[in-house]
Structure 1
Amino acid sequence: MDRLSDTNANPRLSAEVLERALHATDIMVVLTDPHLEDNPIIWVNDYFCQFTGYGRDEVLGRNCRFLQGDDRDQPAIRRLRRAIDAGESVNVHIRNYRKDGSPFDNDLYVSPVRETPSDLDGPIRYFIGVQNDSTARIRAEAEVADRTREVHETAENERERFGMDLHDGLGQELAGVGLLLKALVGRLEDEGSASGALAGRVLDLVEEALSSARDMARGLNPVDASPYGLGDALRTLCDRVAESQPDIEVRARVEPIPFDDRREARHLYRIAQEALSNAVKHAEASQVLVTLHRTGGSVHLEVRDDGAGVPEELTEVGDAVPVQDRAELARRGMGLYGMRYRADLIGAALTVRRDDGGGTVVRCVVPDAASGPRAGHRARSGERE
């Protein structure tokens, strides 16, 4: 305790102790000077050199971006640059590369070091970056994601099977009961029996139950088994939303695209369903357009609305979004991570952005989609407005 008090009382000794401590840690630490051109590195600890394979003479005077190699198109890098330009602290996950070219996942914490620590709005003297190798954690998370994906697909398949059983089993049985009741009602009415009215009421109840069973089956399995099932399902979805929301103009512009892989069609439908729900519930939109088209070998699904627009800080759907924003997304029920997860399951790219003219654009692109022209299937008109 006395020794610690001595270091606090002696700034020179305190700096020496701090530097030894930073060199002793197994976390990478760098210090940059924003007053010099390109905010170069002016100090690194020993572990940084040990882990990356770079010597100090190869690091000092360079901007930290050299660790990214040619891998510059990472959403987290944009967040990092914005935070540094604003003089703010930031935590991002980025991919960096050692001197030998091997990649590693990096949990990076960057904070400004101000001239006067107690003055949170004072001039910035340095930036400190603390980097932690998260490769093992990311690999473990990927394995968990694979297992989760398997469970999710199993659940989707079971839901589809249950929907088919509900339609083909209970639905058909109720339809058969309805036919018998119709015949019974007709006979009772011909005989002038007072029981005819009661039988008619029972028939009404059976028809209501049949309608409910069909709606449940459609909800569990909205994309039918035909190769053009996705287009039909999207048009039906838009029609149903338009009926329930008469103040909102909902249009579907859908090309007749056949799908060999029903998984792709099923997940694209759920993404469109969630995006359409967001436009209605959160965006206060007056117009929504759902489009499905093919460009080259890729299938493009887009849901565009003219509402309030998704908050700018929430448009980077993925690992780049900070934890507090993820909680906000969940609180608001916007389902952006659910859409991202479904896109990942089919190898698609999902983007969510504010439209220049107002509103939100959700776009999902499936590269090299497992679909194509089929002999014997006549192209059908795909646009309904």
Structure 2
Amino acid sequence: MSDLNSSRRGARDAAQRLLAAHPSEDPFAAAFKATRMPMLITDPRQDDNPIIFCNQAFLKLTGYTEDEMYGRNCRLLQGPETDPDAVRRLREAVDNAHDVSLDILNYRKDGSTFWNALFVSPVRDESGEVIYFFASQLDFTNIKSKETELAEARRSAEEEVTRRTKDLSDALQAKTMLVHEVDHRVKNNLLTIASIVKLQARLSEDEVVKRTLFSVLNRVEALSTVQRKLFTSSDLGRFDVADFAKDLIQDLVGALHRDDIRVTTDLAPVLVPSVKASALALIVNELVVDAVRRGLSDGGGEIHLQVKRKNGHFIIRVTDTTTPVSVNPEEEAFGRLMLDTCAKQLNASIERYEDGPRTDVLVTMPVEIMKD
């Protein structure tokens, strides 16, 4: 106790010397005492760098009296939850006589806490020796509380976003599985229908019936190819017409086993909504089958397939060069009807040019029609 009293006497003596150097009319002394910002002064030349002066704002903030503060080290304001790293930074700055600015959790006399924006600066005499440390405090507990509330709100929001994202991901996965299952069943049903039609065509002895059934089979297989493409696609909502067209022309021409048919293509990825896939697939199918029917299957020739975007439009073009053969008028009429019906569904226009052995059919659709 005698050590504390001795320290307090030393602190008061130092305070008196400080006040003597700054009489009451001194603007510094008047400002120091009257300001609403908590401030204190310590004396590093005394043992444990005690507080030798503090203003009323500091006493009001901490709840201590002058007698309780004089001669005490500022660590009096530290407590169990004070950040050791902040204490270390403060101690190192004092030991090395450096300025330091930090936020630190301090304790009042009654044990309540406050967040202290602390600034400590050494005061030197003319020779450069540190004779005082000046410290100012700012209670920013309310701001810190708001930061904590915002951090908690942000954490809660992030957790909610994570939860909602998981729910949406689970729902999307379930939907994807369902769509895949539906596509799988549709594909299997189409394959079953194709098998039945194929079997009936092979058993039929009537050439007209046989030809008609194979015509139906061809279109069913085209739709089956569409379902296979959708089923294996990573994007269930989009259908690549160019990719489908490439496979279809290879399958149709390859099935003829003719080495005198030359196939060329000009294809660029064109993604369209999957709901338009069937109509587009049948358009490509009708164009290629028409070229095969008009002479490619008999005398060979050339066929060129183009699928791309051009001048703000989406085009499908089939150009063939072959020696024309007689075509069944009913098959040709039905093929034209299928083509016109599908084109009408897509608001597409059809242009047909014939020049001797060369036939050019162009189907044009506005790009906007291909959007959802």
- What TM-score does the superposition give when structure 2 sets the normalisation length? 0.43
Task: Write 1 or 2 for the structure with the bigger share of helix.
Answer: 2
- Computing the radius of gyration from Cα coordinates, the structure with the larger value is 2
The structure, 1 or 2, with the larger RCO (C-alpha pairs under 8 Å, 6+ apart) is 1
